[in-house]
Amino acid sequence: MTIASAHGRSPTPALLLGLILTLAVVAANSWFLSDQITRLRDLQRDLADRNRRDSLQLLRIQNDLNQLALGMRDMLDRETTYPLAAWSAQFDRIRADLDDALRRQEDVSVARRTPEQRALLAVAFKQFWDASDRMFALARDGHDDDARTQVRVSLQARQAALSSTVAQQLVQNNENEARTAAQVQDIYAQVQRQAYWFVAAALVAIGATSLYVIHANRKLFARLAALSEERRGLAQALITTREDTLREISRELHDEFGQVLTAIGSMLKRTARHTSEDSPLRADLREVAEVAQTALDSVRGLSQTLHPSILEELGLASTVDWYLTTVERQLGLRVTYERPETVEPVPPAVAIQAYRVLQEALSNVARHAGTVDATVRLAFRNGALHLEVEDHGAGLPAAGSARGLGVVAMRERAELVKGRVTWSRPPGGGTLVSLVVPL
């Protein structure tokens, strides 16, 4: 059972929901901004192109009207020798060009003109050409004076009105350009506002998700710290219980079995004294006594291994000195011991934990280091106990590989007495285990 399922709801669904909402906001805003920018680009391109073409056609119309004005001025000149009917071809050419320009201008016009306005312009041009046709009819019939009167009274006034109308449309084009620019600015402002709203929404979503992550992490780390503290307390309780159990077993072995074996040896010796020197029974009793003594020595050795009583009697330094004399026989190691220059008293609770760390470190050397040589240093400096076990074997395991329970036990034993145990690689290779315990 996981920590989240055992002690609370997992934060994963809420984090996924926050991520989905954030991505949805980003996607929606990105689509909206892209659509607005596309619309803005199309609007700018369409309006600018249409306005340009509309202005070109209006300029074309204005140019044709100016040519008509120049033609009518020449027609009214009394000094000219041309008959008025001679200008008919020029008027027909200008009329055709005006009709084409008006048709094209109507297709591309961006000005907001009502149907009445468009009809009024068409009627004005129709009336001008009708008057022109009547004028040329009078000229062809030889009534040049009446034709000139028609030009002066009717055609010039209508041409001026048409020029004024075209000029107004050019002004409207300029106004349309200004409205287009204002519309573009509105779209830019809307896109900018949406960008600000998006940033605000994204910041809110990210902030809410971050706050939830922080809250969930704080709860998770608090629970992990509590579990770690519980585990440490359990491990230390187990270590204390184990030491108490080993102490009891050691005492039982030393007191009960040791006394029994000692009594058996005494009884065998006493019995042997009541037998004759050449009796076969005497030799058997002596052999049994030797076996009992060997068993007694083994029981005492096992008792000291389980819990060395000399810790309470002689202290840690003497216990380490005694234990290292048994290591070569028990573990097959050759140990170089660097004794402390000065010896300070060590509390029994600290002494037993330091002794166990020494046992575990040398056991690891024998099992994993691939060497039979080790160095043990014991020192008392700056009010602290320093114990080091160094070898030049295979060295520390690779990063990420699992370490045994012995390593965990050493760390827990050190923390039990407010000490610290570390593992490092000495200059010559191998492993250096260092225990520091304040006294």
Cα separation values, 317 from 311, 365, 367, Å: 9, 21, 25
Extract the tokens encoding 411.
């760390």
Tracing tokens 């009960």 back to the chain, one arrives at 256
Question: Residue 160: CB partners within 8 Å, gap ≥ 6?
Answer: 69
Backbone φ and ψ of 83, nearest 5°:
-70, 155
Going 89 to 91 to 97 to 103, the CA torsion angle's sign is negative
Extract the tokens encoding 168.
């107004």
- Higher-pLDDT residue of 404 and 203 is 203
Give the single-character DSSP code of 71.
Answer: H
State the Cα–Cα distance between residues 188 and 176, nearest whole angstrom: 18
Q: What percent of the chain has pLDDT over 90?
A: 7
- Higher-pLDDT residue of 212 and 253 is 212
pLDDT digits (tens, 9 = 90+) for 327-370: 888 888 899 999 888 888 888 888 888 988 998 899 889 888 88
pLDDT digits (tens, 9 = 90+) for 96-144: 998 888 888 777 665 555 666 667 778 888 888 888 888 888 888 888 8
Cα separation values, 383 from 199, 206, 244, 300, 436, Å: 60, 52, 28, 34, 10
pLDDT digits (tens, 9 = 90+) for 148-179: 888 888 888 888 888 888 888 778 777 777 77
Give the pLDDT confidence score for residue 247 in this predicted structure: 67
Where does the pLDDT of residue 7 fall: very low under 50, low under 70, confident under 90, or very high at 90 and above? Answer: very low
Q: Which domains does the chain have, with CATH numbers?
A: 3-216 (1.20.1330), 308-438 (3.30.565.10)
Give the pLDDT confidence score for residue 112 in this predicted structure: 54
Contact (CB, 8 A) for 166 and 108? no
Contact (CB, 8 A) for 61 and 106? no
pTM of this prediction exceeds 0.75: no
Q: What angle do CA 233, 238, 244 make, to 5 degrees?
A: 125
Give the pLDDT confidence score for residue 110 in this predicted structure: 56
Give the pLDDT confidence score for residue 93 in this predicted structure: 92
* Mean pLDDT, all residues of the chain: 79
CA dihedral 266, 269, 271, 272 (to 10 degrees): 170
